[in-house]
Amino acid sequence: MSNKSMSDHDALGMLTPRSRRDRQSLTKLGAVVVAAILLVGIFAYLKQIDRQRRDRDWLSATATIEDARPKVVIQGFSQGSGAMLYQVEILARYVVDGTPRVRWITVAQTPTLRADAELKSMRWKGSTCIVRWKPSDPSKIIAEAS
């Protein structure tokens, strides 16, 4: 086995782009990566702002999850196959202004496959969550379970 080593200068020469076309390709790749990171950052910031607004402007209560079940929300079909996506509905028991309430509420999460929705349903039974609603429209309630 031969043990040949390369000088640092030669190694650097192999790593740097040799032609203008190579430099342009690297520049375009770098721009795409920076744009993707920027878009992810903007999305995360907007999501955080929305959550802060909801925490500040919406009323909330702690609820006990009595029961949970998967619910079909998206049923998409393409050529030869289809996918059904589910969200989890929970039977929440909570108190608002001294009045106990029991209600089926859809959990505010992205739709998932049935197996994942069933797993969440089993895991959440008997646990607690936060229910939130706008004071201007108390009929629209969301649940935040983790």
Question: What are 19-57's pLDDT values in tens digits?
Answer: 888 889 889 999 999 999 999 999 999 999 988 887 788
H helices of the chain, where?
8-15, 20-57, 114-124
Q: In terms of residue numbers, what domain contains 28?
A: 8-54
Whose CA is closest to 105, among 120, 89, 123, 129?
89
For the cut 80, the answer to whether the pLDDT of residue 2 exceeds it is no
For the cut 70, the answer to whether the pLDDT of residue 116 exceeds it is yes
> What is residue 1's predicted lDDT score, i.e. its pLDDT?
53
Residue 66 banded pLDDT, cuts 50, 70, 90: very high
Is residue 91 a part of any domain in this protein?
yes
pTM above threshold 0.85: no
Is residue 31 a part of any domain in this protein?
yes
For the cut 90, the answer to whether the pLDDT of residue 136 exceeds it is no
Q: What is the largest CA-CA distance in the chain?
A: 83
Classify burial at 39, counting beta carbons within 10 Å of its beta carbon; exposed 0-12, middle 13-18, buried 19 or more.
exposed
> What is residue 79's predicted lDDT score, i.e. its pLDDT?
60
Co-location of 120 and 78 in the same domain: yes
Co-location of 15 and 42 in the same domain: yes
Helices (H) and strands (E) in the chain, counts: 3, 5
- Which residues on adjacent β-strands are paired with residue 69? 89
Contact 109, 37 (CB under 8 A): no
Co-location of 108 and 80 in the same domain: yes
Residue 18 banded pLDDT, cuts 50, 70, 90: confident
Is residue 98 a part of any domain in this protein?
yes
Contact 70, 55 (CB under 8 A): no
Residue 138 banded pLDDT, cuts 50, 70, 90: confident
> What is residue 108's predicted lDDT score, i.e. its pLDDT?
84
The whole-angstrom separation of Cα 105 and Cα 140 is 9
Q: How many domains would you assign to the chain?
A: 2
The whole-angstrom separation of Cα 89 and Cα 119 is 13
**Percent of the chain predicted with pLDDT > 90:** 46
Contact 142, 132 (CB under 8 A): yes
